[in-house]
Amino acid sequence: MATRTLARVATALVAPALALGATVGLAAAPASAAVWSSCDQWGSTTLNGYTLYNDIWGSGAGTQCIWANSGTNWGVNANHPNTGGIKSYPNADKVINKSVSSLASLTSSYNVTVPSSGAYETAYDIWDTNHKYEIMLWVNKTGAVGPLGTSQGTVSLGGSTWTVYKGNNGSNDVFSFVRASNSTSGSVNILPILRWIKDTKGWFGDVTIGDLQFGFEITSSAGGLNFTVNSESVSGS
């Protein structure tokens, strides 16, 4: 089960301060030379409004290198052992900094290429500014991974049908929405999901949405597997 740990939350809070941004040789770069790459544990950079994080945070992790042509076209080659527990969450972060009630819209589109083996999910990870609440939207998953918490049933929101899980990792509440079928491209209308949590369920109040991250939460990728974000967009007003 892909539980959320204090280490992951700490990474979300301090990664920008710890990021070394070292550019090093990349094991599996794209066909054309990337504008940035790093194999550093906390490697990060900012490109056209998105901050990219290599974010190798879990215990027992192997190696992982990130490359980027832009903030919305990037990927990793990850070689993490076939053991339990999340090893990393390479992601692109877009800062929103708007309360749920003040948002008129919040949408995102994605197109990814992911391996058929390993254990991982492709997920949005959305945080309020106080890091009390975490909203995960799993658009695809492979292998032995599962969300934290207990099932709250299914709901159709934002253009998809999801099974909803509610839990707490000891530091913050986690609301996970697992898509009914795997998708490697599509769009998500995120605002109705946030309003459903706030207005229909009352699980949080009028919180301010801070970071909206999109990437791959990787548990295992033995032998080295490639994960690619071909394109992504986040739009909010």
CATH number at residue 27: 2.60.120.180
The β-bridge relationship of strands 63-70 and 73-79 is antiparallel
Q: How much of the chain is helix, strand and coil, in % rounded to 5?
A: 10, 50, 40
Q: Quick one: tokens of 145?
A: 């991974």
Please indicate, yes or no, if residue 156 is contained in any of the structural domains: yes
Q: Quick one: tokens of 1?
A: 């089960």
Q: Do residues 120 and 141 make contact, with C-beta atoms less than 8 angstroms apart?
A: yes
- Closest CA relative to residue 93, chosen from 195, 203, 152, 11: 11
- Which residues constitute the domain of residue 179? 6-236
φ/ψ of residue 173, rounded to 5: -75, 145
Q: Which residue ranges of the chain lie beneath pLDDT 70?
A: 1-32
**How much is the pTM?**
0.88
Please indicate, yes or no, if residue 32 is contained in any of the structural domains: yes
The pLDDT tens digits for 17-67 are 333 333 333 444 454 579 999 999 999 999 999 999 999 999 999 999 999
Per-residue CA distances from 136 to 64, 140, 165, 218 (Å): 23, 12, 10, 14
Q: What is the pLDDT of residue 33?
A: 75
Q: Do residues 154 and 181 make contact, with C-beta atoms less than 8 angstroms apart?
A: no
φ/ψ of residue 13, rounded to 5: -80, -35
Helix (H) or strand (E) segment spanning residue 12 = helix 6-18
Q: What's the alpha-carbon Rg for the chain, to the nearest Å?
A: 16
Q: What is the pLDDT of residue 151?
A: 98
Q: Measured on CA atoms in the order 168, 171, 173, 177, is the torsion positive or negative? A: negative
- Closest CA relative to residue 134, chosen from 235, 1, 7, 9: 9
Q: What is the pLDDT of residue 82?
A: 97
Q: Quick one: tokens of 24?
A: 């090093």
How far is residue 29's CA from residue 66's CA, in Å, rounded to a whole number? 8
Domains held by the chain: number:
1
Please indicate, yes or no, if residue 196 is contained in any of the structural domains: yes
Please indicate, yes or no, if residue 1 is contained in any of the structural domains: no
Please indicate, yes or no, if residue 57 is contained in any of the structural domains: yes
The pLDDT tens digits for 187-203 are 999 999 999 999 999 99
Half-sphere exposure in the Cβ direction for 31 (13 Å, CA) = 0
Instruction: Count other Cβ atoms within 10 Å, centred on residue 14.
Output: 11
Name the one residue in this structure whose structure tokens are 């995102």: 108
